[in-house]
């Protein structure tokens, strides 16, 4: 059963009247026609409904695609999704209108952001070109918003770098102007530094330009320091010239303003050099006398410092120039300071050398038999002198060595020279030479003592009593016999000394023969000889040989205490 279409009665009446009146249809024809119209209308309605469903499905599909495209554009650009939650409850037409509107807004917004990105990119290229920095790297699949944000951050960094360089360039300009003024430095007209001086900072922001400016500033700083040192040397030269002229002339020169202010500028250097030239010209008027006096002082210091040819500076005293006078002054100052340093060592060395000479003379005199014939000879004094040398010589040598070692600590890899000969070499040679001389002298004395051993009497009894009791004047023959007995007695003593075994002394001391004090028993003198020092562990192990100067007796204590029955002769 077909469904009756809901037709309006007014419409049916119109159709009926139209068909019946105008076309001349009857009722039966009209019913047939109505049936056909109803069928046709129903078919048409179905077509319309089907088309409507198809259109709605297509629109929904298109809406979904449009929505996906909108979301893709949002993900590509990085904008926020501003579609509300009521979108699902809206009608299809409303959804289509909303999506279309959002697409239009997104087009406008994306266009604005693209323009902003172009402007930022242009600014970036400009700053990178000015600052000679690399452009920001492009990250694949980066959103428009993220790229713009990262580019803005990078531009902020470039702007800060530009501001820092601008501040640095301004400070460089001030510093450069000061250095150019103080050094009287002329700049190249086509250089970057000239643009900096002209305050064209934009053209100086490049990295290469900054390097050129910094290089020039470092060069000027070095020149400024050298000029400062040069000013200091000029001031010292002026002070030396002022002091020299003040001593030589009753009217000392007046100090200049440049000397008083001592500014480190090119103008000050010119004034100081001119003043030095004037003072040197004034000084050259009396240069010959001054140079001759200074020459004597220098030669005197050479002798006092005991400097050899290798440590002396050759000065041409014939061709007198300001440089010659300055060289003389420098040499005198050097020697004056050198003498203060060398004086303690030289004093210790001179004291040691004097003792060595005195000891050599003493050895020569003490080994000579002629000393027994000299008036005022005393064995006690000779023994005391020998003991003095045995103590004083090692002490003086050690003092000299200690002072030399302290000097060598302060002057590494240097030798202290005495007339071009190392002082330590002199001390070592003298030390070894003294040891060998002591051994040779002892052997010679022993050989000389063996020659007169055939004499029957060694010591006479009258010689002992004559030491305590004055005697009458004897004849020349008796005096010769007496001196002969004394000589034989002395040689006998030396022969006993040579029989003792000598051992090597310590490294810090020289070997010298030591004699103890003469001991007296009942008025009879005896000489106790000792061997040289035998080392650190055998200082107290010495052997003594007792020789009585008088009658030949045994060492009997009873006989030593017996008084002499000899009649003392009286003077007539």
Give residue 569's pLDDT. 52
Give residue 22's pLDDT. 67
Mean pLDDT (the chain) is: 75
Tens digits of per-residue pLDDT, 127-182?
898 888 888 888 888 888 999 999 999 999 999 999 999 999 999 999 999 999 88
Residue 120 confidence class, pLDDT cut points 50, 70, 90: very high
pLDDT > 90: percent of the chain: 23
**For 101-109, what is the mean pLDDT?**
91
Residue 282 confidence class, pLDDT cut points 50, 70, 90: confident
pLDDT > 70: percent of the chain: 71
Q: Choose the most confident range, by mean pLDDT, from 32-46, 150-164, 263-277, 423-437.
A: 150-164
Counting Cβ atoms within 10 Å, is residue 145 exposed (0-12), middle (13-18) or buried (19+)?
Answer: middle
**CATH numbers and ranges of domains, the chain:** 8-149 (no CATH), 306-369+379-434 (1.20.58.1520)
Give residue 479's pLDDT. 46
SS3 16: helix
Residue 439 confidence class, pLDDT cut points 50, 70, 90: very low
Give residue 350's pLDDT. 92
Cβ atoms within 10 Å of 435's Cβ, excluding its own: 17
**Is 88 in contact with 64 (CB distance < 8 Å)?**
no
pTM above 0.75, yes or no: no
Give residue 357's pLDDT. 92
Of the two residues 22 and 64, the one the predictor is more confident about is: 64
Tens digits of per-residue pLDDT, 188-241?
877 888 888 888 888 888 888 889 999 999 999 999 999 989 988 888 888 888
104-111: which pairs have CB atoms within 8 A and are 24 or more residues apart?
106/70, 106/73, 106/74, 106/77, 106/79, 109/77, 109/79, 110/73, 110/77, 110/79, 110/144
Task: Judge whether residue 437 has pLDDT over 70.
Answer: no
Residue 539 confidence class, pLDDT cut points 50, 70, 90: very low
Task: Judge whether residue 442 has pLDDT over 80.
Answer: no
Listed residue (513, 547, 517) closest to 530, CA to CA: 513
Listed residue (278, 288, 345, 338) closest to 313, CA to CA: 338
Tens digits of per-residue pLDDT, 458-503?
323 333 233 333 333 344 444 444 454 554 455 544 444 444 333 3
Give residue 264's pLDDT. 83
262: left (phi over 0), alpha (psi -120 to 50) or beta: left
Tens digits of per-residue pLDDT, 68-96?
998 898 888 888 888 887 888 888 888 88
Give residue 279's pLDDT. 82
Give residue 142's pLDDT. 87
């Amino acid at each position: 059963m077909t469904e009756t279409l809901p037709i309006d009665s007014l419409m049916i009446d119109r159709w009926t009247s139209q068909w019946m009146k105008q076309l001349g249809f009857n009722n039966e024809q009209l019913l047939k026609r109505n049936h056909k119209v109803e069928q046709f209308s129903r078919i048409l309605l179905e077509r319309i409904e089907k088309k409507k469903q198809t259109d709605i499905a297509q629109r929904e599909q298109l809406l979904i695609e449009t929505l996906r495209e909108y979301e893709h554009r949002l993900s590509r650009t990085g904008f926020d999704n501003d579609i509300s939650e009521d979108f699902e409850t809206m009608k299809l037409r409303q959804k289509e209108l909303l999506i279309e509107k959002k697409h239009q807004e997104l087009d406008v917004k994306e266009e604005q952001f693209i323009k902003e990105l172009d402007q930022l990119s242009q600014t970036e290229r400009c700053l990178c070109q000015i600052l000679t920095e690399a452009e920001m790297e492009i990250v694949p699949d980066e959103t428009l918003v993220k790229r713009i944000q990262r580019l803005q951050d990078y531009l902020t960094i470039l702007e800060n770098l530009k501001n820092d360089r601008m501040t640095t360039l301004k400070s460089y300009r001030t510093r450069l102007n000061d250095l150019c003024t103080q050094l009287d430095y002329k700049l190249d007209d086509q250089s970057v530094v000239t643009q900096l001086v002209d305050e064209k900072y934009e053209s100086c922001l490049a990295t290469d330009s900054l390097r050129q400016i910094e290089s020039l500033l470092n060069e000027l700083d070095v020149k400024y320091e050298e000029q400062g040192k040069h000013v200091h040397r000029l001031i010292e030269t002026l002070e030396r010239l002022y002091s020299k002229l003040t001593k030589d002339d009753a009217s000392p020169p007046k100090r200049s303003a440049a000397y008083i202010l001592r500014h480190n500028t090119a103008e000050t250097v010119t004034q100081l050099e001119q003043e030095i030239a004037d003072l040197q010209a004034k000084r050259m008027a009396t240069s010959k006398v001054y140079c001759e006096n200074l020459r004597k002082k220098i030669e005197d210091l050479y002798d006092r410092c005991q400097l050899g040819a290798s440590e002396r500076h050759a000065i041409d005293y014939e061709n007198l120039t300001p440089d010659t006078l300055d060289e003389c002054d420098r040499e005198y100052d050097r020697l004056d300071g050198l003498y203060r340093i060398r004086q303690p060592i030289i004093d210790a060395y001179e004291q040691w050398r004097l003792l060595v000479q005195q000891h050599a003379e003493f050895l020569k005199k003490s080994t000579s038999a002629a000393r027994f014939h000299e008036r005022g000879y005393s064995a006690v004094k000779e023994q005391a002198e020998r003991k003095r040398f045995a103590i004083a010589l090692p002490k003086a040598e050690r003092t000299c060595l200690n002072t030399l070692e302290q000097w060598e600590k302060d002057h590494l890899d240097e030798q202290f020279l005495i007339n071009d000969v190392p002082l330590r070499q002199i001390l070592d040679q003298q030390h070894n030479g003294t040891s060998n001389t002591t051994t040779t002298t002892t052997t010679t004395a022993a050989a000389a003592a063996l020659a007169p051993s055939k004499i029957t009497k060694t010591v006479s009894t009258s010689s002992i009593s004559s030491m305590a009791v004055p005697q009458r004047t004897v004849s020349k023959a008796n005096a010769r016999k007496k001196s002969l007995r004394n000589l034989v007695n002395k040689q006998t003593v030396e022969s006993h000394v040579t029989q003792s075994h000598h051992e090597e002394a310590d490294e810090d001391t020289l070997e010298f023969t030591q004699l103890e004090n003469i001991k007296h028993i009942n008025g009879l003198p005896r000489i106790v000889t000792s061997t040289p020092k035998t080392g650190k562990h055998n200082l107290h192990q010495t052997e003594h040989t007792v020789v009585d100067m008088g009658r030949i007796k045994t060492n009997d204590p009873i006989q030593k205490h017996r008084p002499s029955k000899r009649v003392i002769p009286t003077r007539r």
